[in-house]
A and B are shown apart, each in its own frame.
Chain A
């Protein structure tokens, strides 16, 4: 106990202070506030690390509790909304990797964004705010607070993807693409956010509070009391995840988001934004496990996203796009693992003879999802920063103009190789462990014959296996095309140290983070993964890291996945290294129908446009007509009648005294006549 846990609220506060400082005074400091942003992220990381150590050595952790402190934010009647922190192992892990990777990305940005001039100030202010969003999300103590930070991230992603909206180094066409990509990201995620908000309203109605502690304590009661409403709430919350974490069918904004600077892509894909959706599932796990059927849907969406988006990466020529699709595919893995884990635990909660085993497997699946999120953060940050380094040196994102770069930029080439090995799932590298656990999690319900959805999970497992093969293939296709063969373009050589050093650090973590999380007896006597089981209101019986490793190597799917991954790498080698580069084959007119279909993203952007034109524009037209005719009509009608009435009445005002006198006489006579009538017929007053 060193007492820093009480100051954990500083973690999101430091970057937001940096946002203000960099925004206001960034122009006066060197690198347009870059050092402020780096310092903020580094300080946030240090505080997060100290607070995490504090938590893991505290009584809260030992007693299976979350550390939570709340203050009242607002009162609406008897309904109280709090603002506070909720720290358990999941939040600790989230804070740690988000702030650590962001620090490295910010350092890298100083080199990468060096030539951006005054716009750097804007960049550094916005990335600081982005980090605030993620860290705030990680420490929030209730859903509303989380939603606030969730939206902060939505805003920052919009601003940063559209960083080049006004002037793009590649001309107007590119800046137009950037602004439309930003709009797309904002609107598509907004669709999910609206659903999430609706889900939270239902939750508020059911529980009367949005505090994690209240909701998780009452989760089982809720399931009994609101058997129909709870699945709806959870589905709506999951729709928020689908938007934020770019799951099928709302996946299409993420590839477009590549229009921003590469560092922003790294930030969105590794440390922030898309990880928020995964975090929401992991955080809401005690709630999600109450609905067995919904969890099947979650797992299916994850599995479908994984293979579907992997297929689009197979023939893409843009180095960043390949990475974007691989992110989508890996996010699908995470959702698949979490869905499958929640499915098994929900079956376990129903009791029965297998309950113990189900808890064990479900817990393993949950940790697989979270672990893959962390590992993915490391290797994807590495890959994106590596691709940024390549783009920086070559000046294009098109892999057809790269090739043979490993001699000119060895650090970038070999660190990226580590990233590729990790994502492809080669043993020792971090991706291997978590990907294997994910696939095992998908396989488990069928393998052990749990529940009615076994066949569905078998299909998902097979899809996952094919995805593993595709992943290995397209990642190495990218690496071979970029770094092997003959040089096809111009290259400036290796990037400066402030770019290559973060790459090396990330490469170390991309290699070791899996093993560290499995085996490292961290902060006391427990492994990081085991600590995840804490604070959920129920306990997972847990494999230790060592047992998990043994388990991994005992299962047959491990070896199948490994063979598939090596086959993928082999085919990539055969096609892109052993076969000489044939320029003709890459020309658009020589592409087959399937190739074009895939390259056009299965016409998903067209589908989005079609829906928005047919459906969105129709509604917009009706709203516009209502606005023009009903609302404007009322206002204009009122003002017109006032004007017309005034004109009409002013005609009486002739300015001739005798007219006025005549009117007075008429008036007097009229009054007299009325009085006379009253007297004659009414019998007096």
Chain B
């Protein structure tokens, strides 16, 4: 087996360049200073938005990290840095272990393709090899409960069925590191229980979980460490009860 997962961020900062900044009015400037990151002017005159600044973080295997903060506090940006999508503009990131982010579980799905084809597409999107998808194909179809509908185009499904298929594929992998923006859930009443069980299986099989959420109960029941982001800085980082009490008040 590979070495244990670990994430190490040292002095990480993320600056977004803004190219259509001509329309940047004072009003916008005030608003984003209140809600989001800082807007800065670089020495060469280009406008940048500071998404994250001076993030020092070490996450070890076994940690289930909850990420809290207001909208625009840098949660999504940090999730993207941790998933290896954004390469930080300052500092260094060292991530060991394969990482899968479940942010939009429908990404990669083609409505015209059949359920079976979509399993392959969605699987490929998550980094599964065709062999890995094939090995799990039967299990995914069974879990989705679609039966013969699996051979029908995805667009003919009810929204509940669509969600079930996307959920079944997305939760069929067991990565070392899992990054999620809010919990995955399904509306379907009888499916919910099974989905909940499966989500817990996935979470327990991963070595590191990073979960951004606005829900207090979810953080309390899932995580063993919470990071509170504010204006792209870490405001607080510690055990669940302390940070949750401070953040949710």
A pairs with B: no
* Chain A residues in the interface with B (C-beta under 8 A): none
* Chain B residues in the interface with A (C-beta under 8 A): none
